[in-house]
Amino acid sequence: MKKVFLISSFVFFFCALPVLSSRVAAKIYIDIDSPTFQQIPIAICDFSNQTASATKSADSGITTSDDIKKDLSLTGIFNILNKKSFLENIPPDNAATMGNIRFSDWTTIGADYLLQGSITQNNKEIIVESHLFDVTRGELLFNKRYISEINKLKTIYRSIASDILLTLTNDEGDFSTKIAFVYKKGSKSDLYAINYDGSELKRITNHQSIIIAPRWSPDGTFLAFTSFKDGRPEVYIRNFNNGTEKKVTSFEGLNLCGSFSPDGKKLLLTLSKEGDEELYVLEIDTLKLKRLTNNYFIDVSPAWSPDGKKIAFVSNRAGSPQIYIMDTDGNNVKRITYEGKYNTSPSWSPRGGRIAYEGLINDKYQIFSVDEEGNNPLQLTFDAANNESPSWSPSGRQIVYASQKSWKSKICIMNSNGLSSRVLIENNYKSVMPAWSPRFK
């Protein structure tokens, strides 16, 4: 928000196909949102290789289990047990035969769940069998087969990790998502995107100008953002798939991008075309504008609630930037942050209920969240860096944010309770304003 106010003043998976599924046990969903939640202990065995020819990826079974572990570790909710602690030694050529598992051996080492499987490869495809057990109950939770092209093994282990998460938490996770962010070199910047696991960094724009406030459309097809490409701040919408883009607002003064509506048909904006920074909603197809606020104060950073009924935004109408919510027609405005003198960048959880934001405390920006009634504020980051621009994952269980300390700039991901923070990307240039995509199919 400080950046927004300064700008205001300055300007005036290709997925693997599970072809067989058998679930024996009743669904048991773990409440990972509970304050008393502890990481889920899971044992993941090396997958046995059933391929007849030793020349056909002899190590692919170990690779598959290792990559499933890596994906699950990204969620921050699993305690993946070291295989050196395993008491049950399963011969590689017999691992896919699940007849006699000694569940007590797995509970002894602290496992609640066990994943075993096998992999078979021919000239055209890879077939992976996976079996997830609840070892405390001695039950099979799922037995699935996945088939994919030979060079698409990654899609299989990602699907297995997603199925584990879905089985245990009733949510498929954030594996098939990307994070867009602004990458700044000096006075020039562009949009980049990176996968949830930190792979495949990709440049999105070539504006070589000031770019701010990237926002994904609900289906992941479009990115809206503000760019100074033509010398002043204007709002663009870019097709993420084919790279085409169009300018949708170019009024005199500030044109600042807000979020898409949940149906993807509208875009929230901050415009100063009539003097004051006010909030508007734009019908994307017709470019028809509707003004939502009308006062002498600065109103910026609008974000739609997931049900499309409310809008969170920032205003200095109380003397300093604070978070407010209102109805989508601009009525029933309510302030929801009272702690701290500088709160900005609201991001509404896709699950509803809570809003993440950045707040200034002890001369550093930190990430907070608060419920939509303004109750139960929580500080989520506590380090000596400036932590800014929170954005929720589609699951609503993780938050991405920008972190800057000295010359080091990082994009980080943490669980929604502030725990299990990890670095997504780090460099000596500025990586700022991350925006989490929806799930890609």
pTM value is: 0.90
Write out pLDDT tens, residues 60-93.
Answer: 667 889 999 999 999 999 999 999 999 875 544 4
Confidence of residue 52 (pLDDT cuts 50, 70, 90): low
Burial of residue 317 (CB within 10 Å: 0-12, 13-18, 19+) is middle
Mean per-residue pLDDT over the chain, rounded: 89
Burial of residue 436 (CB within 10 Å: 0-12, 13-18, 19+) is buried
The H or E element that residue 436 is part of is strand 430-436
Report pLDDT for 154.
86
Q: State how far the Cα of 191 lies from the Cα of 209, in Å rounded to an integer.
A: 10
Confidence of residue 35 (pLDDT cuts 50, 70, 90): low
Token pair belonging to 265: 């048909």
Query: How would you classify the pairing of strands 139-149 and 125-134?
Result: antiparallel
Domain boundaries 174-436, CATH class: mainly beta
Within a 10 A sphere around the Cβ of 343, how many other Cβ atoms? 25
Report pLDDT for 70.
95
Q: Give the count of alpha carbons within 13 A of 153, CB side only.
A: 21
Write out pLDDT tens, residues 264-315.
Answer: 999 999 999 998 999 999 999 999 999 999 999 999 999 999 999 999 999 9
Confidence of residue 20 (pLDDT cuts 50, 70, 90): very low
Domain extents in the chain:
17-169, 174-436
Q: Tell me which CATH code domain 17-169 carries.
A: 3.40.50.10070
The H or E element that residue 162 is part of is helix 153-169
